[in-house]
Amino acid sequence: VRDLLDTGDAVRALLRQAIRAYEDDPVAVPLLEQHLRRQDEPLRVAVAGKVKAGKSTLLNAVIGEEIAPTDAGECTRVVTWYRHGLTPRVVLHPVQGAPRPLPLRRVGGRLVFALGGRAPDAVERLVVEWPATNLRDLTLIDTPGIASLSEEVSARTTAFLTPQDAPSQADAVLYLMRHLHASDVGFLESFRDTAAGRFGTASTIAVLSRADEVGAGRIDSLISARSVAERYRRDETLRSLCLTVVPVAGLLAQTASTLRHAEFTVLRRLADLERAERERLLLSVDRFRHGGTSVDVPPEARAELVARFGLFGIRLSVALIRGGVKDPTALAQELTRRSGLQDLLGLLRVQFHQRAGQLKTRTALLAVEQLLRERPRQGTAEIAASLERIVAGAHELRELRLLASVRAPGAGMPRGLADEAERLLGGHGCAPQDRLGLPRDAPVSELRACALEAVVRWRTIAESPMSSRATAEAAHAVVRSCEGVLAGTAAGKAPSPRLLTPEPGVGAR
Ligand SMILES: Nc1nc2c(ncn2[C@@H]2O[C@H](COP(=O)(O)OP(=O)(O)OP(=O)(O)O)[C@@H](O)[C@H]2O)c(=O)[nH]1
Ligand SMILES: [Mg+2]
């Protein structure tokens, strides 16, 4: 009995087959080898958005350390990779010439990269290796702001993420925006067009960034931010461009992960002030920095506190301390919780980590397809055939594609049905429980009963003459996904969070 190869193995085999066919091509071989290696590397997620959207701050929050430089400096104009390494290290890759290590300098905990006299546009990228746990299965890529005043800086990010002649270097994107702007939509469209190519798959999570500023720093700002994000989520254009929109106050999360005892002490003193004085002081950044007060905090310390927390963060912390938060640890926990970071990390886990294999597979298939198109040669028909077979057979890719299309405008499925299809296709996570909308501890018998019920119901939709072609196609895929749940939870098998759906009729168990 021939074992069915899993899609990842099939893609590796395809890449090797292509390397053999192109063995005397000095451009194709290194490219293919790079893709082969990339299959075993962590997923690459780029952080993109306009200038000052809060990219580097959010990246620090996700890593859980304050390493990426924020604000001014020439390094914000260079694409910077953060990958896992046992010892901290920075390597500069120039546009021309060999990579070379940079001295590691930290100022106030943060890295400072001196480009060693090179102009930012002579640097292809910086690669930072850092021993942070969160980087173990995720490589993060900080990119210069798009649509910036300097067209040249903006062009670097566009060229990096949406190259004309190759698949993107990133498998997925976290796209930050403070408001939805035409240039944001423009960027998301071009990323979808390259990343998705003809597979039409979505791999972008949009972040409503600097969420604490949405309500002008009022104490209910984060609640306002949530409703703005909700409105964006329902926006027909955005729906087809990103998987979802989440509000995150990156600064709050970053500061919480590095909260200092001295800061807590100052905040507690502010909380102890008499109400009128406290309110006067917290009225504006200017008042806070320069206003007269009985609290003995020097102006530099106040400026530092604003830079670390933002006015909203100070107001919130003071309110929390007044509400009974007693120590720095408890304050940090509460700030993190409210920042929205946990929701974002959860989404990264569900949408990106669990689908890492699929997203990487897609990138490699696109690369091979492009190679065949642009450097055709004799004897590659077989490679093209293997590629077609993988694309047609890989249910995971079909799921990715349908996730993008059932949420697109004009998909034609009634909203309720489309929501259910999205869930069953893994839009809320690939674990059987996530797909079926059941609690984590649901017994296997319940999972199976629910999956079976879905198979029957969606098969009826798939076969109904009333269903449009697109609906029928989606329904067939949903049936297949539910059958996957059944196969994965068959007797004696614990429900596995990573679900590989075997081909029907092939004994995968
Ligand atoms: N209030 C508030 N300020 C933030 C937040 N995130 C970032 N900032 C501030 O916004 C400024 C820019 O933040 P960065 O993280 O450097 O933004 P960026 O998108 O990396 O900027 P460029 O790389 O220059 O395009 C800094 O002063 C941050 O402190 C946030 O969530 N809330
Ligand atoms: Mg930056």
* pLDDT tens profile 122-165: 888 889 999 988 898 889 999 888 765 556 666 666 766 666 65
Q: Ligand 1: does its nearest atom lie under 6 Å from the Cβ of 70?
A: yes
- Looking at per-residue confidence, does 279 or 404 come out higher? 279
For residue 501 the two structure tokens come to 């759906």
CA distance 453 to 313: 48
Q: Which atom of ligand 1 is nearest to the CA of 252?
A: 31
**Position 262 pLDDT exceeds 70:** yes
CA distance 82 to 90: 9
Residue 197 clears pLDDT 70, i.e. is over it: no
Measured over the CA atoms of residue 69, residue 309, residue 327 and residue 296, the dihedral's sign is positive
pLDDT tens figures, 445-501: 999 999 999 999 999 999 988 888 888 888 999 999 999 888 888 765 554 443 333
Ligand 1, atom 6: closest residue by C-alpha = 54
* Neighbouring residues of 334: CB distance < 8 A, sequence distance ≥ 6: 320, 325
What is the chain's percent helix, strand, coil content, to nearest 5? 55, 10, 35
Q: Give the dihedral sign, CA 335/242/146/157.
A: positive
Q: Which of 2-16, 89-103, 178-192, 379-393 has the highest mean pLDDT?
A: 89-103
Distance 199 CA to ligand 2 centre (A): 31
Ligand 1, atom 30: nearest CA belongs to which residue?
210
| Long-range contacts of residues 147-156, Cβ cutoff 8 Å, at least 24 apart | 147/50, 147/51, 147/181, 147/183, 147/187, 148/50, 148/51, 149/51, 150/77, 152/121, 153/51, 153/77, 153/120, 156/77, 156/79, 156/121
State in Å: Cα 361 to ligand 2 middle: 29
Mutate to test the pocket of ligand 1, among 58, 60, 62, 71 (most ligand atoms within 8 A of CB): 71
Least confident segment among 337-341, 384-388, 502-506 = 502-506
Residue 207, SS3 per DSSP: strand
User: What pLDDT is stored for residue 166 in this prediction?
Assistant: 59
pLDDT at 83: 94
- Quote the pLDDT of residue 504: 32
Q: How far is the CA of 328 from the centre of ligand 1 (A)?
A: 23
Mean pLDDT of 105-114: 73
Range ranked top by mean pLDDT from 67-81, 271-285, 342-356, 395-409: 271-285
The whole-number pLDDT of residue 59 equals: 93
Average pLDDT of span 242-255: 90
Tokens in use for 107?
């100022």
Percent of the chain beyond pLDDT 90?
Answer: 28
C-alpha span between 237 and 409 (Å, rounded): 7
Tell whether ligand 1 has an atom less than 6 A from the beta carbon of residue 251. yes
87: its two tokens: 């010892």
More confident residue, 36 or 220: 36
Angle CA(142)–CA(145)–CA(146) in degrees, nearest 5?
120
Give residue 407's pLDDT: 67
Ligand nearest to the CA of 153: 1
Highest-confidence segment of 189-193, 269-273, 315-319, 391-395: 315-319
Average pLDDT for 25-30: 89
- Structure confidence at residue 288 as a pLDDT band (50, 70, 90): confident
Q: What distance in angstroms lies between residue 393's CA and the mean position of ligand 1's atoms?
A: 44
Q: How many residues can be counted in the chain?
A: 509
Is residue 51's pLDDT more than 70?
yes
According to the per-residue pLDDT averaged within each range, which of 155-169, 192-206, 330-344 is highest?
330-344
Separation of 79 CA from ligand 1 center, angstroms? 16
pLDDT tens figures, 306-337: 999 999 999 999 999 999 999 999 999 999 99
Nearest CA to ligand 1 atom 12: 52
Q: Please name the residues in contact with 487: beta carbons below 8 A apart, sequence gap of 6 or more.
A: 501, 502, 508, 509
Distance between CA atoms of residues 171 and 363, nearest Å: 7
Angstrom distances, CA of residue 331 to CA of 67, 217, 323 = 22, 19, 11
Please give the structure tokens belonging to residue 233. 């989520």
What integer pLDDT is reported at residue 451 of this predicted model? 93
Residue 308, pLDDT score: 92
Q: Is residue 254 very low, low, confident or very high in pLDDT (cuts 50, 70, 90)? A: very high
**Spatial distance between the Cα atoms of 165 and 160, rounded to a whole number of angstroms:** 11
pLDDT of residue 109: 66
The distance from CA 123 to its chain's CA centroid, rounded to whole angstroms, is 25
Nearest atom in ligand 1 to the alpha carbon of residue 217 is 1
Is 193 a residue whose pLDDT tops 80?
Answer: no
Evaluate the CA torsion angle 431, 434, 439, 445 in order and state its sign: negative
pLDDT band of 198, cuts 50, 70, 90: very low
- Confidence bin at 172 (pLDDT 50/70/90): confident
Bridge-partner residues for 138, per DSSP?
43
Is pLDDT larger for residue 74 or for residue 206? 206
For 283, residues 6+ apart whose C-beta sits below 8 A from its C-beta are 291
**Any idea what the Cα angle at residue 199 is, between residues 165 and 363, rounded to 5°?**
50
Q: What value does the mean pLDDT of the chain take?
A: 82
Ligand 2 mean position to 53 CA, how many Å?
8
pLDDT band of 74, cuts 50, 70, 90: low
